[in-house]
Chain A
Amino acid sequence: MKERLVSLQNAALAELEDVANPQELNEVRVQYLGKKGALTEILRGMGQLSAEERPVIGQLANDVRAAIEGALAELQTKFDAEETNRRLAQEKIDVTLAGRAPETGTLHPLNWVIQQVEDIFVGMGYIVAEGPEVERDYYNFEALNLPKNHPARDMQDSFYITDEILLRTHTSPVQVRTMEKMHGEVPVKIICPGKVYRRDNDDATHSHMFTQIEGLVIDKNVRMSDLKGTLLQFVQEMFGPETQIRLRPSFFPFTEPSAEVDVTCCMCKGNGCRVCKQSGWLEILGSGMVHPRVLEMAGYDPNEYTGFAFGMGVERIAMLKYGVDDIRHFYTNDLRFLRQFAHD
């Protein structure tokens, strides 16, 4: 019996060497180890063995089975690996083909600029105030030291709806409304973004509707030097820490002293280029100390309180920041334009 087992093992191992595929492997498995296989056949004769022989032969039979099974498993692993490799080769794709990317949306560049400006000033303790786009003459002009028939009204030709109601020409009426609501309380620290309207023919640099952001601070002892400090901090956060400002006297009916504010040209870092007409400076802000009459009309005693105000055109800032050459792009809504702002 011993011999039969040994020769069975040798025969099985020899046969396995010729096995070429999993089917043949399985046939060998059934032939030797199956329920009706050769090994079972041999072991059927175990009953005739003596008590001494039985454990010895049993042990041998187990060893034979283990040897055959081991060899079977090894081959099985080999066949499995081959199968896997074959499948992987089939599954190979061209990774250079485009992915299935959903459309990337964008915020409008003007709103994006507004958001950045808002965030800078919110960080400096301001709140964002808003008001109607259709305004009363009183809030848009009169309360801002621009009485009816004032020559300075010509600076802002406006769209009237009735004699007393018009499309606001600046966001300053929001300042007036805020001051009124504060009933003389201080400090007032607001910025007011919004759409404004003027009678301009639309061209590369003019738009009958455009966007402004204005700021207002009222408190005791607010000085013009504070205005300079505030604007400097703002432009450095907005345009980079090297940015400087330069104030130039100007005139606005609602501020005095008034100043135009130039900043270091962001294109050439102040060295002079086409955009800044070689001056190294770009005019981006109007500002000044709140006119005492404006304070008075809004319920603040100008002997006790002072304030400053400033305003900027969002389009101008966006045009400079992104190098946009025509203001109409902002309102044409060409997707090829809008998509460019996906990663700002």
Chain B
Amino acid sequence: MNVSFQWLQDYVDLNGVDPKELAEKITRSGIEVDSVKARSEGISGVVIGHVVEREKHPDADKLSVTKVDVGGPELLQIVCGASNVAAGQNVPIAMIGAVLPGDFKIKKSKLRGVESQGMICSANELGIPEKFLSKTQKEGILVLPADAPIGSDALEYLGLNDQVLEFDLTPNRSDCLSMWGCAFEVAALLEKPVKLPHVVIHEDTTERASDLIQVSIEDAAPCLHYSARIIRDVVVKPSPQWMQNRLVAAGIRPISNVVDITNYVLLEYGQPLHAFDLSKLKHGEINVRYARSGEAFVTLDGVTRELDESMMVISDGFDAVALGGVMGGQDTEVNESTNQILLESARFDGGTVRLTSKKLGLRSESSVRFEKEVDPARVRLALDRAAALLAQYAGGRVISGVVETFKDENDRVLADVDSARRIHISNEKINLTLGTNLSSDEIAVIWSRLQFKAELHGEHWEVCVPSRRNDIRLAIDLIEEVARLYGYDRIPTSFIVGKTTTGALTNEQIIRRRLRGQLAAQGWHEVLTYSLTEPKTMQAFPVAGKHGVVTLAMPMSEERSVLRHSIIPALIEAAQYNRNRQLDDVRIFEVGHVFLGTENANNALPNEQLMLGLLWTGSKSPRHWSGKPQAIDFFDFKGQLETLFEKLGLTGLIWESSVREGFHPGRTAQVSVKIGEGVDVLGTIGQLHPDQQRAMDLSDTYVAELSVSVVVEAARRGVQFQALPKYPAISRDMALVLDRSVSVDTVIRETKALVGDLVESIRVFDVYEDEKLGRDKRSVAFSLLYRVPERTLTDEEVSQRHFGMVEKLNERFGAVLRA
């Protein structure tokens, strides 16, 4: 809402009040004032002049030489380039020494040899934005009305000496969508009274409006109150300059006296009005009803709209003539030839207007106000105010009587000016909620500033909230009014007095922090990527199992249309981004949610899983002078995870060769962990499929995606001390020639089973492949450490067990002991 400071002064005495200071005060009390703009834009020295003479320039076809009366002793000679300049006009004159927007100074000059003592200004040159101008005003100089006072300040005449405060209203303060509402707010802040205009209507009693028109609301139609007046003999012409100035200050383009008056009253009262050309309402009837499905309607802006059954229309008994609360129709529009009008002031259901406006993508000054519910008590007041203005400025004859109807009896009661909500509240409740210690007297002052009538019964208030403050319905709403007018700054600072609580992170939160902290300590960079992504990138890593992809109903773009079910694509994207900037070594991780669709996707939330995604590409360590960078391989990556798992206390890990889409089939593992009796899958780690790498222009890249909830479940915190070994160990090495298809892990597990509790650890210390070993064979060297806690083992018993085991391995895997 753009609030003209001058207009506001009609209602509240603002003498000595600085607009900027007022704006700060309003902002600090709950309505943010986004800006305070001087309409003058730095203009000075422009007066109203009268063109006495106009002649063609002797040496230039397109120029005119004028003699202008600016109220001084002599006429000024001014050269003008506008085609519409003519003798007899009143026009704004920028005198010698005047300043126009953009610090443009007017000097005495010669144009093609003819002296010019100033400039005749167009509206645009005076800083009035194009959108507020008519076609002729855009093209030439600004022609002022005949009654414009010659020689006086044009800024004042055009309202350009005004300041405009831009209120950024929160949804609850729709009362300030009107100048009245703003006036009450400002008056409350400044502790001043409000003066409202006194409306007097002279009705022509020779006719009765109710004889001319019938008004009805169809049963279900969401119109709560419809009132209308008939005004005859109107003369459509421009509205008075002061009214145009105020409309422009508020951001509305002046059109004609009839339209301007409806807009003026809309701004003044916050009540939208509509004027129909009465002669175009063919059937002497107004009927408010729901639109029919597919009903076509041409709105004032000339656009044909297709309506549906959720929308409300005003009809002439047959056809729609207005889209209730949103916009009038072209067919019944007021134009220059209109001489009688039906003036509508109604109260439509906000939700219906909001929905219609949203569906049609059509917002108007009216719909904005109806959406937030208008003041029921102002419907008739606004109607009368507009009728009086039409009589005054359009020469109209107001036919006697208001034709009106209500949806139900309660709405008739609400329309009564005196109906106010009564809310009960105690001093104690106010002070307990705010932590203040306000007395009844202090609170009484606040009610009176708000102009709420209030009665005190003991410690309890009964407050009458006028209907203009639609937002105040509960005791807490009144407490807020007290708080903001008392001043938030004056509310004390205190500490909660209740039972003290112990704050702590949960086990899961602690483990998550450890996990992230440990990875950072190991040289990984934590990243954050978007959850919304494009279906295409997700396809490379399809959802496991039967889960569906979670898709937005109305995405803003294809790029952000589905929820990710894997973090890996986003990590790849981050790697590409960095490699495109010559950052080739990328080691990143993210802990974030992935989203798996459920079968019952309409009613059930997707399955959200917290995952740890990792990506590593490039070299093992930063480039160093001492050697060539070494590219990472699977085991560098796996080692990083093993360190992480150890740090988190994960034991009983099972690594198995695995095949997953998007991954290198020979260099990918599924890792699981034993939890209690069961085994849970942690996730997949491996190299990106070479095809993927090529498509993404990446060198060898390793990625992993692990379930954080499984990590948390498997993680152990706290340490149980194990006694140190008292007896020496016996070490035995063995190098076995094995088929490549036999995994080392299988051999180790089998070995453990065979040698049982004698072996303390088994470690692989060499893996060797050579043609000489045979096709698809390799040699794996194991180092076994034999020890038991309670005694020293003898060489003989170890040897017996060891060689027995080797024999079994031979039977089991064809493993041959290498010489």
Contacts and interface: CB of A to CB of B under 8 A. Distances in A.
Interface in A22-51: none
Interface residues of A, number: 87
B355 A249 contact: no
Contacts of A154: 171
Interface of A: 97-98, 100-108, 110-111, 115, 118, 121-128, 132-136, 149-152, 154-155, 159-162, 164-165, 167, 186-187, 189, 195, 197, 199, 201, 208-209, 217, 219-226, 228-230, 232, 246-251, 253, 256-259, 289, 291-292, 306, 330-336, 338-339
A123 to B, nearest CB: 6
B436 A225 contact: yes
B725 interface: no
Contacts of B489: 246-247
B605 A111 contact: no
12 contacts: A104-B523, A105-B587, A106-B526, A134-B605, A151-B350, A195-B592, A209-B532, A222-B498, A223-B432, A224-B434, A249-B30, A257-B484
Interface in B17-74: 27-30, 32
Contact of A125 (B172, B493, B501, B523): B501
Contacts of A222: 496, 498
Interface string B152-172: 000000000000000000111
B560 A208 contact: yes
B499 A187 contact: yes
A343 B413 CA distance: 68
Interface residues of B, number: 95
A219 B28 CA distance: 29
Interface string B492-512: 111111111111111001000
B520 to A, nearest CB: 4
B498 to A, nearest CB: 4
B489 to A, nearest CB: 7
A333 B500 contact: no
Contacts of A335: 525, 578, 583, 586, 588
A161 B521 contact: no
B577 A151 contact: no
B552 A161 contact: yes
A180 to B, nearest CB: 15
A270 B476 CA distance: 33
Nearest to B552: A159
B372 interface: yes
Contacts of B621: 100, 102-103
A69 B91 CA distance: 126
B503 A124 contact: yes
A248 B517 contact: no
A331 B530 contact: yes
Interface stretch (B261-269, B595-603, B660-668): B595-603
Contacts of B95: none
Among A152, A162, A246, A251, chain B packs the most CB atoms within 10 A around the CB of A251
Contact of B501 (A100, A102, A149, A189): A189
A334 B581 contact: yes
A208 B503 contact: no
Nearest to A289: B433
A187 B554 contact: no
B495 A164 contact: no
A161 B553 contact: yes
A209 B592 CA distance: 13
A103 B523 contact: yes
B480 A256 contact: yes
A134 B550 contact: yes
Contacts of B371: 151
A108 B497 contact: no
B145 interface: no
